[in-house]
Amino acid sequence: MKAPLLALAVLTAVPAAAQIAPGAVSFQPVERDRDFRRYDTIWNFTYELGGAIGSFSQYISAVSPVGFNLEGRSKVTRRLSVGLTFGFNRYSQTSDLASLALDNGGTASGPLYRYAHFLSPRLTAHYYFLDQSVQPYVGVGLGAVWSFAYQRVADLEESDSGFHFASHAEAGLYWSLALSDSRLALTAAVRYTFTTVSFAQVQNAMMLSGLLGVAWQI
């Protein structure tokens, strides 16, 4: 009879203890932790409008309307996330009259067509200043970039491609549209990108760009 009596004692003691001191030992998550878990994964899809700066701007001065980024972020604390982004940018320009130094020492002048493609995966880290519907942040990215640059005058063409180092720093914000277990947000950011991509007269191609997109925070 000892075992049934012991089980009965335990079954009656636990609810009794809970009734006596309901706040003494709580297994419910505090509000702060619950928010952290609710939005700890962020998916971004952004459109990027970029402009070359530095020596790259002397190669292609036109603004690039073709740029996209897909990024996933995971919160490691309430205010800090790490992630991975994939970006693509295309810069191109046609000049009615430009001069091009040829490999054999000659010079060509005429209508000149140039483009440069950048495909870049980068690890990212972001810090969030606020935890509310408008959420400003700053972030950095480090990774690699595959570049392909091409220029052509008449039937004379030159190209260059390779893998290089790439990094960026950015500041932006999220603006939440709906709050629930997951939320949709608009995002905008300004980004400075530095790479070690060098070709023709370009040394360490750099860009300054604006990003607009949507984010799904889960």
* Residues ≥6 apart with Cβ < 8 Å to 5: none
Tell me which residue of 132, 136, 120 sits closest to 190, measured CA to CA.
Answer: 136
Minimum CB distance to another protein smaller for 153 or for 211: 153
Phi, psi of 4, deg, nearest 5 = -60, -35
Give me the residue label for tokens 């000149």. 112
Minimum CB distance to another protein smaller for 77 or for 109: 109
Shortest distance, CB of residue 98 to another protein, whole angstroms? 11
Does 111 sit near another protein (CB under 8 A)? Answer: yes
Beta bridge pairs of residue 100? 108
Q: Which range binds another protein by CB under 8 A, 11-19, 73-81, 101-109, 158-166?
A: 101-109
| CA–CA gap between residue 63 and residue 126 (Å, rounded) | 27
Residue 178 host element (H or E)? none
Q: State the binding string over 155-194 for another protein (x if CB under 8 A, else -).
A: xx--------------------------------------
Does 152 sit near another protein (CB under 8 A)? Answer: yes
Near another protein by CB under 8 A: residue from 13, 110, 201, 216 = 110
Interface residues with another protein (CB under 8 A) are 96-97, 99, 102, 104-111, 113, 152-156
